[in-house]
Amino acid sequence: MGADHKLLKKRQIVQKEGGSTLLEIVILVLVVSIAIFPLSRLAVKNLKSFGGFATIGKAIFHAEAAMEEVIADYAATGTGRGYDWVRSYWSGQSTSDPPPGVTGIVSISQEFSLDSVDYVIVQVTVSGTDIPDVSLSTWLTNNN
């Protein structure tokens, strides 16, 4: 009878270790269902942030293109443009062809003279509803 008793104990141990109870499965489903809601909100927030980064990239490229237009006008002195044209025409001018969701404006933020050389600081600012402002600045001189 001693051998039968040992075999019975081994079967009881094996039966206790195998499988999960219904209560354990219910608790697991409850914990997973509670965790899904915050994780889904995080995923939605990340997707919205990614859209903002795409808009920031478009705003940066638009600001660079607008600044290149200003610099091209500054360099085109043989066509009646140049320093004075930039000062008079571009101040307060909206940028051309902004991408959807952004707007841009060119401003003359400062004018000054130093050692008989006139300087102007030109700033291009591009803004959108869901992004911070993107600003580029450059200094131009009246080297005539």
pLDDT at position 123: 95
Rounded distance between C-alpha atoms, residue 121 and residue 140, angstroms: 6
pLDDT at position 32: 85
pLDDT at position 11: 60
Does residue 138 have a pLDDT over 70? yes
Does residue 28 have a pLDDT over 90? no
CA dihedral 68, 88, 93, 139 (to 10 degrees): 40
Q: Which candidate, 62, 73, 77, 50, places its Cα nearest to that of 122?
A: 73
> Is 44 inside a domain boundary?
yes
> Is 98 inside a domain boundary?
yes
> Is 9 inside a domain boundary?
no
Chain mean pLDDT for the chain: 83
At 13, the pLDDT band (50, 70, 90 cuts) reads: low
The 10s digit of each residue's pLDDT in 52-103 is: 778 888 999 999 999 999 999 998 877 878 888 898 899 999 999 998 889 9
Rounded distance between C-alpha atoms, residue 110 and residue 99, angstroms: 28
> Is 10 inside a domain boundary?
no
Rounded distance between C-alpha atoms, residue 35 and residue 28, angstroms: 11
> Is 12 inside a domain boundary?
no
Rounded distance between C-alpha atoms, residue 118 and residue 84, angstroms: 11
> How many domains does one find in the chain?
1
> Is 8 inside a domain boundary?
no
Q: What angle do CA 99, 59, 141 make, to 5 degrees?
A: 115
Q: In this predicted structure, which of 5-19, 31-45, 104-118 has the lowest mean pLDDT?
A: 5-19
Residue 137 CB partners (closer than 8 Å, separation 6+): 109, 121, 122, 123, 124
Range of the domain at 28: 17-142
Does residue 15 have a pLDDT over 70? no
